[in-house]
Amino acid sequence: MSFTDNFMTASVKPAAPANGADAALVKDTTTRTFRDDVIAESMKRPVLVDFWAPWCGPCKQLAPVIEKVVKEAGGKVVLVKMNIDEHPDIAGQLGIQSIPAVIAFQRGQPVDGFMGAQGEREIKGFIERLVGPLGPGATAELLVEAKAKADAGDAAGAAELYAAVLAQEPDNADAVGAMAKLHVDIGDLEGAERFLAMAPADKEGHPAVAGARAAIELARQAESLGDLAELEGRIATNPADHQARFDLALALAARGDRDRATDELVEIIRRDRTWNEDGARKQLLQFFDAWGPMDDMTVAGRRKLSAVLFR
């Protein structure tokens, strides 16, 4: 069995805040503390393990450079140093035969590495392969890249990037809202609510936070709904059964059929705008909040709504 076979891969978890309690971005580890310092920490963000020894000249050259780059990364990664003279077991299990050797751990697994003393540019590039661009504007670039991964269905990849943003900016509303939505997508509503709790009070109205909250509310509503076929049967028997049509819209939205969900609510509005105190229109607006103002379905849905309201 290999060194990492006993460790689980990462799930989507809140990133550790970059506050005073988490300020030690460079630390020493031992065989006994390796699991906590490296494996557990790498579930939150990448951990670079620097295997070194006091007699190693290139190790002394590498140490100040890699420590500088890690600190400048602002919490996106941490550096853990292991003296192989005092703690040789793990280096041996990983097959390390020469030092300095730097191994990057992510989600409990070694994912990349290099050997020998490297320059600042090379180390920065190595870290950027793990977390994306560093430096001014990096957060914005990470958010764009994370959204692209989420849109492509790569929830784990998106979560890693959002976690990197939160490690540097724990109150970043875009990342908080996005992480909450990722949890909604995988059915972990409690996890989504934990992420929303990270949002500062003054960010409650931020579109990403409000959208995530709306998505959670919709998912909670959908949990109590009946079978689609039953709802469709009720509507077929009585097209004026607005409650069945309303419930069907919620169920469809929960299953990702947003186009049809929109159409069912618009149909209620077309038939009876006053039903349930304008409930269908209010529900449709909640859909738009959950999907985001610039989402294609939100834009298309607003057009459909306008066509009914202003005909």
Active-site residue numbers?
56, 59
Reference 95, options 115, 119, 118, 123; nearest CA is: 115
Measured from the Cβ of residue 66, the count of other Cβ atoms closer than 10 Å reads: 24
Q: Which helix (H) or strand (E) holds 100?
A: none
User: Helix 242-254 to helix 207-223 angle, to the nearest 10 degrees?
Assistant: 120
- The C-alpha atoms of residue 120 and residue 127 are separated, in whole angstroms, by 11
Tokens 């919620």 locate to 250
User: In whole angstroms, what is the distance from residue 126 CA to residue 120 CA?
Assistant: 10
Residue pair 265/284 in contact by the 8 Å Cβ criterion = yes
- What is the biggest distance separating any 2 CA atoms in the chain, rounded to whole angstroms? 84
**Residues 137/168, Cβ–Cβ less than 8 Å:** no
DSSP H stretches of helix in the chain: 34, 57-72, 89-93, 120-131, 138-151, 155-168, 173-185, 189-196, 207-223, 228-237, 242-254, 258-271, 279-291, 296-309
In a 10 Å sphere around its CB, with 0-12 CB exposed, 13-18 middle and 19+ buried, how is residue 271 labelled?
A: middle
